[in-house]
Amino acid sequence: MTMFFHYFRWAFAVTVLGLVLSPWLGWASTGTMQGALSFLLVGAVLAVLEISLSFDNAIVNANKLKTMTPLWQQRFLTWGILIAVFGMRIVFPLLIVVVAAGIGPGQALVLAWSEPAEYARIIGEAHLSIAAFGGAFLMMVALKFFVDDAKDVHWIAILERRMAEFSSVQGLELAIVLALMLILSAVLPAADVAAFLFAGVAGLVTFLAVEVVGHLLDRADAASEVAKGGLGAFLYLEVLDASFSFDGVIGAFALTQNLFLIAIGLGVGAMYVRSMTIMLVERDTLAEFRYLEHGAFWSILILAGVMFAQTLVHVPEVLTGLVGAGFIGLSLWSSLRHRKSERAAGRAA
């Protein structure tokens, strides 16, 4: 229990702050006790939604953080969480409205407070492009993990081993994502095709750009602080966090149209993701649970597919979170079984 509190103490503190701010915001917005309680409930649901959607994000973050220097680990866990909470939960939705409506940031902030329904409508109209960008980026992240001949541990072996065998085909991951985008563009309404393809290609270019930057930094002078698994990995994780956040931010508007309540609820959830990431790194949990990382990347692949599917139909965010958590839960169960069988074999030997 002491260990759990050690890792989640800041998440608990932010939760208390969220439990105070949510009803206060509800009272300020509606002037009624019912409104305050309603805001409190929605804020709690948003926090749970964010945790369920981002558990796989914490696992992938932990895996990448292991390759970073302690200094850059600390920078990601401080600067990165500020960017994730403030940048993606507040600034990003504001920028969407600024670009889509052609107004200034101040006007967008006023619009979010005074006309939340109109603000939510503008955000909703940008959903197609956001889903295409996030789907393309996340699918590349997942496929890069599976299409790798150096990967010698397989969880769903019949599929993972076959994907690893095709790693010698150059650009296979890119071809798969582009083929899926072409199929979707053939069934999308003609008016949406250009925006979908532009955003999807932008997601692919962003992934490749981050890979190039990381590769160049890795080849830089080994004595350079930036080169030691630092800036390149930091940029990769920030873009990855942003892609994960798209689904949660857009889905949040289905529960409430209040930008500030969304920021509170998702911010609380993001702190738990940060705490889980720290615990996974410091306790080396990924090494202890053999298939946990595999479950996370299967969850990412499912999330990418869902984001692409959302360009055609609405997929409930709760369902997405449950499917992702299900894969991670199954991978954890498989890891425990494998560890138990290894110990039994060791005792027998």
What's the alpha-carbon Rg for the chain, to the nearest Å? 21
Instruction: Give 112 or 198, the one with higher predicted confidence.
Output: 198
**Domain assignment present for 171:** yes
- Provide the pLDDT for residue 25: 87
Q: How far apart are CA 244 and CA 303, in angstroms?
A: 9
Looking at residues 189-212, what average pLDDT do you find? 89
319 conformational bin, left if phi > 0, alpha if psi -120 to 50, beta if neither: alpha
- Provide the pLDDT for residue 281: 79
Q: How far apart are CA 312 and CA 36, in angstroms?
A: 35
- pLDDT more than 70, % of the chain: 86
Instruction: Give 99 or 195, the one with higher predicted confidence.
Output: 195
| Mean pLDDT for the chain overall | 80
Domain count, the chain: 1
Instruction: Give 178 or 279, the one with higher predicted confidence.
Output: 178
Looking at residues 169-184, what average pLDDT do you find? 93
**Domain assignment present for 185:** yes
- Provide the pLDDT for residue 226: 46
Q: How far apart are CA 75 and CA 81, in angstroms?
A: 9
Looking at residues 139-143, what average pLDDT do you find? 89
**1 band by pLDDT with thresholds 50, 70 and 90:** low
- pLDDT more than 90, % of the chain: 12
Looking at residues 309-320, what average pLDDT do you find? 80
Q: How far apart are CA 4 and CA 302, in angstroms?
A: 30
**178 band by pLDDT with thresholds 50, 70 and 90:** very high
Query: What pTM was computed for the model?
Result: 0.76
Lowest mean pLDDT among 135-149, 202-216, 249-263, 293-307: 249-263
**Domain assignment present for 281:** yes
- Provide the pLDDT for residue 293: 83
CB within 8 Å of 263: residues ≥ 6 apart: 85, 89, 90
28-42, 95-109, 247-261 — most confident range:
28-42
pLDDT digits (tens, 9 = 90+) for 55-83: 777 777 787 777 777 788 788 877 877 77
Q: Does 201 score more than 90 pLDDT?
A: yes
- Provide the pLDDT for residue 26: 87
**221 band by pLDDT with thresholds 50, 70 and 90:** very low
- Provide the pLDDT for residue 223: 45
**Domain assignment present for 348:** no
Q: Encode 55-68: b = buried (16+ Cβ within 10 Å), e = exposed.
A: bbbbbbbbbbbeeb
CB neighbours of residue 259 within 10 Å: 25
- Provide the pLDDT for residue 182: 95
Q: How far apart are CA 314 and CA 329, in angstroms?
A: 25
Instruction: Give 201 or 267, the one with higher predicted confidence.
Output: 201
**186 band by pLDDT with thresholds 50, 70 and 90:** very high
Find the domain containing 295 and state its range.
2-343
**Domain assignment present for 349:** no
pLDDT digits (tens, 9 = 90+) for 119-138: 778 877 888 888 888 889 88
**326 band by pLDDT with thresholds 50, 70 and 90:** confident
Q: Does 87 score more than 80 pLDDT?
A: no
- Provide the pLDDT for residue 222: 47
- State the alpha helices, DSSP H only, in the chain: 2-30, 33-65, 70-75, 81-82, 92-101, 105-114, 116-125, 127-146, 157-165, 172-187, 190-218, 231-252, 259-282, 285-288, 292-309, 317-348
**177 band by pLDDT with thresholds 50, 70 and 90:** very high
